Amino acid sequence: MAQRKAPDVVIRRLPLYLRVLEVQDTNESPIISSEQLAKIIGTSSGQVRKDLSYFGVFGKQGVGYQTTLLSTELRRILKLNQEIRVGLIGAGNLGAALVRYHQKNRAHQPLEIVALFDIDEKKVGRKIADVEVFHTDKLANAIHEMEIKMMILAFPAENVQHIIDICIENGVKSFLNFVPASVKVPEGVKLRTSDVTLELQGLAYYT
Amino acid sequence: MAQRKAPDVVIRRLPLYLRVLEVQDTNESPIISSEQLAKIIGTSSGQVRKDLSYFGVFGKQGVGYQTTLLSTELRRILKLNQEIRVGLIGAGNLGAALVRYHQKNRAHQPLEIVALFDIDEKKVGRKIADVEVFHTDKLANAIHEMEIKMMILAFPAENVQHIIDICIENGVKSFLNFVPASVKVPEGVKLRTSDVTLELQGLAYYT
């Protein structure tokens, strides 16, 4: 079946569905309904069905989805059925917190942070949460050799575009960006910015 | 004019518009078009116009928006024209990184982190980036006395719902949540979850 291109907002919900499925006891709940999924996530059952239909995944009407099967499908769709090697640039406070947090919470995730990068010579060679810090000068080679496909950006906003360009030239396909700067990526590369200040400003609306 | 209720996705773009406006030189660019705004943010000019029309803000056809005026309007809409007192629960790695990051980048933002909370007695009384750490036992009183309206959650996922309930009972209206747990808030309270693991899983799709 030809698949329609799923919008980014749909892709963002898939890991949420997956998380819900993974905490289910599959003996107790071999089947989960779109209503149940929707309720836990805080969306509508119609939204759940529509989201999953983008990938040709349909539940049985009036019954629901097979928990294990849906979980496997979601992992396949998200490419989480294979190891993905992740790098992190910026071994400062934020970078260190991110890598520690990820290592602690990753459980059986195939996303592995394999290298940290920093321009500070004093940090190079050290390990944070068992991940070695390399000099940013070695970025191009390291990405290539370690086959890093995803990069987390957590360094002060200088030269961001230049760093991103090096990453892309060497095969990085997606970025999680914590750097408050305007940056551009070409078609076929995904960059998502996570900016605490922007988030807080948006939340001010609701105070 | 009666205002339609703006969806959350629109609210999330407003701080982006504001950031663009604030870096403009208003002498050089007293007027900014929806096309210019759209281009910097990576959306369409139609989207910009539609977003702003939710709040009765209309540019002059074929000309654009007055930079200073639009900036003032956005601050008013987002309630950033007043001080908003923010608390942060969890003075661990992530919490410390967040408060340092916010203090460094906040510039003239009216969002002020006024208190940190932690259950670790050893941290209580210390200061991180000039913000004092209080014991989580004192949460209810502190929220009340310091008039905290927004809370950042950055502690390990235990008792999250209980902590959130205490916050809400004492007047917190919005949450930025970094805790990987399913939580509920009543109507009229906003909780946004920022979860690095979920973000990375979503980005795997694009690798």
ipTM of the complex: 0.86
* Pick among A76, A109, A150, A201 to test the B interface (most B CBs inside 10 A): A201
| Mean pLDDT, residues B63-88 | 93
Instruction: Check residues B196 and A118 and name the one with the higher pLDDT.
Output: A118
Residue A70 has which token pair?
A: 């849906």
- Any CB–CB contact under 8 A between B76 and chain A? no
- Any CB–CB contact under 8 A between A78 and chain B? yes
- Any CB–CB contact under 8 A between B16 and chain A? yes
Measured between beta carbons, the chain A residues lying within 8 angstroms of B84 are 204, 207
Distance separating alpha carbons of residues A197 and A200, to the nearest angstrom: 5
Is the predicted pLDDT of residue A1 greater than 60, yes or no?
Answer: no
Nearest-Cα distance to chain B for A61, in Å, is: 27
Nearest-Cα distance to chain A for B62, in Å, is: 26
| Mean pLDDT, residues B84-106 | 88
Q: Which of A76-80, B87-91, B98-102, B110-114 has the lowest mean pLDDT?
A: B98-102
Q: How confident is the model at residue A102 (pLDDT cuts 50, 70, 90)?
A: confident
Residue type, A37: L
A138 neighbors A144 (Cβ within 8 angstroms): no
Q: How confident is the model at residue A148 (pLDDT cuts 50, 70, 90)?
A: very high
- Any CB–CB contact under 8 A between B113 and chain A? no
The rounded mean pLDDT for chain A is: 89
Chains A and B form CB pairs within 8 A to the count of: 164
B101 neighbors B90 (Cβ within 8 angstroms): no
Report the residue from B11, B182, B203 with minimal CB separation from A174: B203
Chain A residue with minimum CA distance to B188: A206
- Any CB–CB contact under 8 A between A5 and chain B? no
- Any CB–CB contact under 8 A between A57 and chain B? no
Measured between beta carbons, the chain A residues lying within 8 angstroms of B15 are 197-198, 201-202
Identify the three-state secondary structure at position B194: coil
Residue B169 has which token pair?
A: 């009972």
Domains of chain B: 8-77 (1.10.10.10), 84-200 (3.40.50.720)
Query: Which distant-in-sequence residues (6+ apart) come within 8 Å of A22 by Cβ?
Result: A71
Q: Is residue B202 classed exposed, middle or buried when 0-12, 13-18 and 19+ CB atoms within 10 A define those classes?
A: buried
Measured between beta carbons, the chain A residues lying within 8 angstroms of B75 are none
Report the residue from B176, B180, B203 with minimal CB separation from A199: B176
Q: What is the share, in percent, of chain A residues with pLDDT greater than 70?
A: 97
- Any CB–CB contact under 8 A between A181 and chain B? no
